[in-house]
Amino acid sequence: MPETALAVVADHPSALAPLAEQARNYARQAKAANTRRAYRAAWEDFAAWCAERGTEALPATPALVGLYLTDRAATHKVASLRLRLVAIRQAHTLAGHRLDSTAPEIAEVLKGIIRTRGTAPAKKEAAVTEVVRDALRELAKDPGLRALRDRALLLLGFAAALRRSELVALERADIVFSRDGLMVTLRRAKTDQEGKGAELGIPFGTTALTCPVRTLQAWLDAAGIKAGPLFVGINKAGRRGTEPLSDKAVALVVKAAVTAAGYNAKVYSGHSLRSGFATSAARAGVPEAHIQIQTRHKSLPVLRGYIRRGSLFNDNAAAKVGL
Please tell me whether residue 205 adopts helix, strand or coil conformation. Answer: coil
Looking at residue 194, what is its pLDDT? 53
Distance CA 255, CA 261 (A): 10
Residue 296, Cα to own-chain centre: how many angstroms? 13
Residue 209, Cα to own-chain centre: how many angstroms? 27
Looking at residue 296, what is its pLDDT? 86
- Active-site positions read 163, 190, 271, 274, 297, 306
H or E segment and range at residue 197: none
Q: Which CATH class is domain 129-310?
A: mainly alpha
3-state SS track over 38-88: HHHHHHHHHHHHHHHCCCCCCCCCHHHHHHHHHHHCCCCCHHHHHHHHHHH
Looking at residue 3, what is its pLDDT? 45
Looking at residue 297, what is its pLDDT? 80
Q: What's the pTM value of the predicted model, to 2 decimals?
A: 0.66
Looking at residue 193, what is its pLDDT? 52
Number of Cβ within 10 Å of residue 111's Cβ equals 11
β-sheet bridge partners, residue 296? none
- Is residue 278 within 8 A of residue 295, CB to CB? The reply is yes
Domain ranges of the chain: 31-117, 129-310
If one looks up domain 31-117 in CATH, what number appears? 1.10.150.130
- Print pLDDT tens along the chain (323 aa): 444 444 444 455 555 666 666 666 665 555 566 678 888 999 999 999 999 999 999 999 999 999 999 999 988 888 899 999 999 999 999 889 999 999 999 999 999 998 887 655 566 788 899 999 999 999 999 999 999 999 999 999 999 999 999 999 999 999 999 999 999 999 865 555 555 678 999 999 999 999 999 999 999 999 999 999 999 999 888 889 999 999 899 999 999 999 999 999 998 998 899 989 988 988 888 888 888 888 888 777 777 776 666 566 666 667 677 67
Looking at residue 213, what is its pLDDT? 96
Distance CA 222, CA 149 (A): 9
Looking at residue 1, what is its pLDDT? 40
H or E segment and range at residue 240: strand 240-244
Radius of gyration of the chain, Cα coordinates, nearest whole angstrom: 24
